[in-house]
Amino acid sequence: MKILDVKNTAFAMPLTSPSYPKGPYRFVNREYMIITYRTDRDALRAVVPEPLEIGEAIVKYEFIRMPDSTGFGDYTESGQVIPVTFKGRKGGYVHSMYLNDDAPIAGGREIWGFPKKLAAPCLRVEQDTLVGTLDYGSLRIANGTMGYKHNPLDLETVRTAMEEPSYLLKIIPHVDCTPRICELVSYSLEDITIKGAWTGPAGLELFDHALAPVAELPVLEIVSATHILADLTLGLGEVVHDYLRMDQT
CATH of the domain at 67: 2.40.400.10
pLDDT digits (tens, 9 = 90+) for 35-53: 999 999 999 999 999 999 9
**Which of helix, strand or coil describes residue 101?**
coil
* Domain housing 205: 23-167+191-231
Question: Does a structural domain hold residue 243?
Answer: no
DSSP state of 7: H
With CA atoms as reference, report the closest residue to 185 among 172, 198, 175. Answer: 172
Query: How many angstroms separate the CA atoms of 32 and 151, rounded?
Result: 15
Question: Does a structural domain hold residue 181?
Answer: no
pLDDT digits (tens, 9 = 90+) for 49-107: 999 999 999 999 999 999 999 999 999 999 999 999 999 999 999 999 999 999 999 99
Query: Which residue type, as a one-letter code, is found at position 141?
Result: I
Q: pLDDT under 70 in the chain at which residues?
A: 249
Residues known to be catalytic = 116
Question: Does a structural domain hold residue 13?
Answer: no
pLDDT at position 232, please?
98
pLDDT at position 248, please?
75
Question: Does a structural domain hold residue 143?
Answer: yes
Question: Does a structural domain hold residue 136?
Answer: yes
Question: Does a structural domain hold residue 87?
Answer: yes
Question: Does a structural domain hold residue 133?
Answer: yes
Tally of domains within the chain: 1
Query: How many angstroms separate the CA atoms of 146 and 202, rounded?
Result: 4
Read off φ and ψ for residue 158, nearest 5 degrees: -65, -45
pLDDT at position 249, please?
65
Cβ of 25: how many Cβ atoms within 10 Å?
A: 21
The CA-based dihedral angle spanning residues 193, 196, 199, 201, taken in that order and rounded to the nearest 10 degrees: -130
Cα 68 to chain centroid distance, Å, stands at 17
